[in-house]
Structure 1
Amino acid sequence: MKKFLLIILGIVVILIAVLFIKMYTYPFKKNTSATSDGWKPVKNDSAVLRLSGGIKIPTVSTGSLGEFNYAPFDQFKAYLKTSYPLVYQNTENNEVNTHALVFRLKGSNPSLKPILFISHIDVVPPGDADVKNKEQNIFRPGDKPLPPVSKVAEDWDFEPFSGAVANGRIYGRGAIDMKGMLFSLIESMNTLIKSKKTPQRDIYLAFGFDEEVGGQKGAMQIADYFKKKGLQFDTVYDEGGLIMQKGNIAGVDSDVAVVGCAEKGFLSAKIKVKGLGGHSSMPPMESAIGKAAVIMQRLEDNQMKPAITPLIKGFFDNIGGSMPFTTRLALSNQWLLKPLLISQLTKNNTTNALVRTTTALTMMKGSDGTNVLSPEVEFVVNFRLLPGNTVKDVREHIARATEGFDVEVEEIDNTREASAVSPSNTKGFKLIEAGVREIYPGAIVTPYLTMAGTDAYKYQIVSKNIYRFMPIRINSSEQQSIHSTNEYISIENYLKMIHYFEFIMMNYDR
């Protein structure tokens, strides 16, 4: 017996030794310490004011697939033309479907594939308007009353379309999503033209106008326009990832620039469940709403299987070296600890979304009366598809969850597969890394999976290298302001973003 126990102990010791050796020899990406603070912003009031003026134009997209008021979009086009005459004079510029804008700056070598930077003109609505601008409530004795202003949401420091410049920030709907990036791109091209330095390859800018409602009339038609012209882009750059400020990613003691090399797919299903209706005084043993509850419980309890995809493995390989000991141990020993690692990842909302197709119950409708049994109850479930899962997989998953019940399933919104995964060993990705080092030398740059949908998906027909990244360094509260109240971009972030895009445009072929 003693000999047996010694053998077991020996196996345990060897196993522990193997785990430790694997961890200390695992090729986690080494993050080099920053030797400087990076490029320092140079005061540029005119660039700030141009963005401020663009935010003042309420290019709101709402409704079904772009059925909204286009007058502000006409105003915005005119504003760009007035603000950037050099860009209009020195590029080929076209309108696609009236309100989408395309600019082409010719390079010196037409044999090289062009590069494309995309953004969108439209913004989401600002929210409820119920109180006056807080700034209007500040008076001193002897002051004349300020003129009346429109009411704005209570949590906005300034009116949503004020474009206010204060506290080192530019405020307003779209400051981050995504007029900040749009103006930084056109500012960068403007600077490139002023410098009289001709890039080797053509540089394109493309601005859609209905991204927030699906991009069917904007980006989709721009991409089709490019395809018909026979264009294939070496790289496409869009929004998606950000530079997450130190502390935003649990356990990582560094800024992290997450570059979306893919984005999740989308499927929303309206499920109608049928049962017996009638008066609540004589209810059946199982009502339609009870049946719906069973299906919803099945969907939440038996979600689609999690997996660590190659993209997410690459993400953890990049940030793992900066993570706590136990996490590094699990990441470097997935041959043994993978089930434990996945179990931990699926317990957190954020990391769960990285490793599985998520399930979200979002809407429900039944009877309108407290004493009425509805013969039909409907609810909506939204799936965000992990690359590797397909729309077919999700449909089969829904069929299993609704088995045994009388249901109708209708897909609503824009069902689409997860995007292709762009490689991270390309020139386009390496320029992102170099550009981030220019402005935030200490940041870890890593491939990532973008959770939300972007216009980038539509450009798969004209490029295999698509990267979703906006080079601004933000904290969690700033991130939460996107599509919410009090949206703003710091002047430092804005000026650094201009420099970042200038760097990529000028150095892509150096």
Structure 2
Amino acid sequence: MKKILLVILGIIVILAAILLIKTYTYPFKKNMADAGEGWKPVKNDSAILRLSGGIKIPTVSTGSLGEFDYAPFARFKEYLKISYPLVYQHAENVEVNQYGLVFRLKGSNPALEPILFLAHMDVVPPGDADIKNKEDNIFKPDDTPLSPVIKVAEDWDYAPFSGAVANGRIYGRGAIDMKGMLFSLMESMNNLIRNKQIQQRDIYLAFGFDEEVGGQKGAMQIAGYFKKKGLKFDAVYDEGGLIMRKGNVAGIDSDVAVVGCAEKGFLSAKIKVKGLGGHSSMPPMESAIGKAAVIMKRLEDDQMKPMITPLIKEFFDNIGGAMPFTSRLAIANQWLLRPLLLSKLTKNNTTNALVRTTTALTMMKGSDGTNVLSPEVEFVVNFRLLPGNTVKDVREHIARATKGFDVEVEEIDNTREASGISPIHTKAFKMIEAGVKEIHPGAIVTPYLTMAGTDAGKYEIVSKNVYRFMPIKITSAEQQSIHSTNEYLSIENYMKMIHYFEYIMKNYDK
């Protein structure tokens, strides 16, 4: 017995030694963090007012495309012409599907593949704010657009389409998502032209108008336009990741710039469950709503399996060196501790979304009466597909969850596969790293998986290097304002974003 215990103890000691050695020798990326402040923003009142005026135009996209109010989009196009005459004079500009905008600033070497920067002009509704346009909300070339009449929603410090500039911030729906980035791109191109800066390769800007409802008429058409022209881009840059301020990423004592090298797929299914209807005084042993509850319980209890994809492994390899010892231990020894690592990751909402196709029950409809049994109950379940899972996998998953019940399954919205994964050992990615170091030298830059949908995936037909990143440093609370109330962009972030894009445009081939 004593010999057996000694053998077990010896095995434990050897195992512990192996774990420690692998942890301390694991090739976590050495982040050469600079303690400097980087480029110091210089306030530009004209640029701030141009963004403020753009926010005042309520380019809201909601529902199906046919329900759009296109008048604000027409005004927005005219506002850009008025605001950036140099860009319109010196860059080629075309309209795609009437409201999509494309700009091309020619470079000195047409043999080089161009680079493309994306943004979208549409915004989500402001919530409870009451939007009514003034009858005279029309502007002439020498005017800024008048603000719509807005009742301030309770949680907004300033009206959602006021474009208010106060407290070192620019307030309004779309300030972050994503008129701030759109205007910073226009400012950057404008600066290149004004300073007579001649870059080597062509620079393209492409602005969609329906990203918030799927991008089928905007980005999809623009990407098709590029494809038809035979264009291939060395890099495509869109929104997606952000710079999370120090203390806002659990366990990491540093700013972290997360660059989306891929994004999740999407499938929403409306599941109609059949049962016996009638009066509630004589209910069946199992109602339609009870059956629906069983299916929903199955979907939540038996979710798709978590996994560490190559992209997320790269993410952990990049940030792991700045994490606590226990986290580094688990990351470095996945050959043994992967089940424990996955168990820990899936217990947190944010990290769970990194390692699995998520399941979200979002809507449900049954009887309209308190004493009426509906013969049919429907609910909606939304899946965000992890790269490595497919739409086919999700459909089979739904079939297993609904087995034994009389159901109809209908896919709604825009079903799409997860995107491809863009490489990080490219000039395109290295320019993101260089740009971030220019404005935030202390930030860790890492590849990441973008959870939400963007227009970026539609441009995979014209580039293999597609990156999702907006160079603004924010807290988790500020991130929550996107698509919510009291959205704002700090003036410092806006000035740095302009400099970041101008830096990439000027230095891509230096």
Classify the TM-score, shorter chain.
over 0.9
Q: 1:24-39 alignment to 2 at 5 Å?
A: 24-39=24-39
Alpha-carbon distance, 1:81 to partner: 0.6
Deviation, 1:33, is 3.0
Tell me, yes or no, if structure 1 residue 268 matches structure 2 residue 246: no
- Give the secondary structure class of the aligned counterpart of 1:176: helix
Superposed, 1:284-433 pairs within 5 Å as 284-433=284-433
How far off its partner does 1:71 sit? 0.8
Note closer, same or farther for the CA distance 1:149–1:263 as it changes in structure 2 (3 Å cut). closer
- 1:482 is aligned to 2:482: yes
Shift of residue 34, structure 1, vs aligned partner = 1.4
Give 1:129 shift. 2.4
Out of 308-317 and 190-199, give the one that drifted further: 190-199
What's 1:195 paired with?
Answer: 195
Taking the TM superposition and a 5 Å limit, the aligned residue runs for 1:142-181 are 150-181=150-181
Distance 1:429 1:32 in 2: 17
C-alpha separation in 1, matches of 2:475 and 2:43: 23
CA distance in 1, matches of 2:281, 2:33: 72
What is the distance in 2 between the residues matched to 1:130 and 1:46?
29
Whether the 8 Å contact between 1:65 and 1:216 is mirrored in structure 2 is: no
Alignment deviations for residues 102-158 of structure 1 (CA, whole Å, 9 cap, x no partner):
000001111110000000011111111279xxxxxxxxxxxxxxxx96312111111
Take 1:154 and 1:231, find their aligned partners in 2: how far apart are those partners?
Answer: 48
In 1, Cα distance between equivalents of 2:67 and 2:199? 38
Rounded Cα–Cα distance in structure 2 between residues aligned with 1:385 and 1:130: 35
Contact kept? 2:150, 2:160, Cα under 8 Å = no
**Would the aligned equivalents of 1:124 and 1:173 in 2 still touch at CA under 8 Å?**
yes
Equivalent-residue separation in structure 1 for 2:66 and 2:13 (angstroms): 64
Q: What is the alpha-carbon distance in structure 1 between the residues aligned to residue 78 and residue 65 of structure 2?
A: 24
Specify the code of the residue in structure 2 equivalent to 1:95: E
Asked whether the equivalents of residues 262 and 448 of structure 1 are also in contact (C-alpha less than 8 Å), the reply is yes
Structure 1 gap ranges (5+): 132-147
Partners of 1:192 and 1:37 in 2: CA distance: 24
2:75 corresponding residue in structure 1? 75
Contact 1:56–1:161, Cα closer than 8 Å, also in 2: yes
Q: What do the CA deviations read for 1:437-465 (whole angstroms, capped 9, x no partner)? A: 00000000000000000000110111110
Distance 1:43 1:95 in 2: 32
Separation (CA, whole Å) in 1 of partners of 2:200 and 2:258: 28
User: 1:376 & 1:335 partners in 2: Cα distance?
Assistant: 48
SS in 1 for 2:88: helix
Match of 1:186 in 2: 186
Q: Answer yes or no: is the 8 Å Cα contact 1:130–1:154 preserved in 2.
A: no
Aligned equivalent of 1:241: 241
Q: Distance in 1 between matches of 2:193 and 2:384?
A: 41
Secondary structure, counterpart of 1:178 in structure 2 = helix
- Three-state SS of the structure 1 residue aligned to 2:158 is coil
**Offset at residue 35 of structure 1 (A):** 3.6
Distance 1:455 1:360 in 2: 22
Partner Cα distance (1:390, 1:51) in 2: 40
Letter of the structure 1 residue corresponding to residue 322 of structure 2: S
State the TM-score, normalizing by the size of structure 1.
0.96
* Cα displacement (A) at 1:197: 1.8
Alpha-carbon distance between aligned partners in 1 of 2:215 and 2:154, rounded to the nearest angstrom? 30
Alpha carbons 2:130, 2:150 under 8 Å: kept = no
| 1:258-317 per-position Cα deviation (integer Å, ceiling 9, x unaligned) | 000000000000001111111111111111111111110100010001100000000011
2 CA distance for matches of 1:316 and 1:379?
36
CA distance in 1, matches of 2:18, 2:60: 58
1:3 alignment partner AA: K
How far residue 324 of structure 1 moved from its aligned partner, in angstroms, is: 1.0
Q: Is 1:280–2:284 an aligned residue pair?
A: no
Distance, in Å, in 2 between the alignment partners of 1:307 and 1:174 is 34
Q: Indicate how the Cα distance of structure 1 residues 453 and 257 shifts in structure 2: closer, same or farther if over 3 A, else same.
A: same
Contact 2:150–2:161 (8 Å) recurs in 1: no
- Distance in 1, matches of 2:99 and 2:130, equals 31
Structure 1 vs Structure 2: percent identity of aligned residues? 84
Residue identity in the other structure for 1:355: V
Aligned to 1:143: none
How far 1:234 sits from its partner (Å)?
A: 0.5
**Is 1:126 aligned with 2:115?**
no
Q: Is the 8 A contact 1:66 1:213 kept in 2?
A: no
CA contact (8 A) 1:215 1:455 kept: yes
Q: 1:307 is aligned with what amino acid?
A: M
Instruction: Determine the C-alpha separation between the residues in 1 that align with 2:305 and 2:483.
Output: 31
- 1:86 corresponds in structure 2 to 86
Q: Counterpart of 1:11 in structure 2: which amino acid?
A: I
Query: Quick check: 1:65–1:214 contact (8 Å CA) kept in 2?
Result: no
Cross-structure match for 1:491: 491
- 1:121 partner amino acid: M
Aligned length: 496
> Would you say 1:215 and 2:197 are equivalent positions?
no
How far the C-alpha of 1:66 sits from its partner, in A, is 5.7
**1:43 aligned onto 2:54:** no
- TM-score (norm: length of structure 2): 0.96
The CA distance in 2 between the partners of 1:77 and 1:195, in whole Å, is 25
List, as ranges, runs of 4+ consecutive aligned residues in structure 1 with deviation greater than 3 Å: none
Q: Over residues 313-355 of structure 1, what are the superposed CA-to-partner deviations in whole Å (9 max), with x where a residue is unaligned?
A: 0001111111111111000000000000001100110000000
CA distance in 2, matches of 1:77, 1:275: 52
Deviation at 1:67, TM superposition (A): 3.1
In the aligned structure 1, how far is the partner of 2:101 from the partner of 2:14? 63
CA distance in 2, matches of 1:360, 1:62: 21
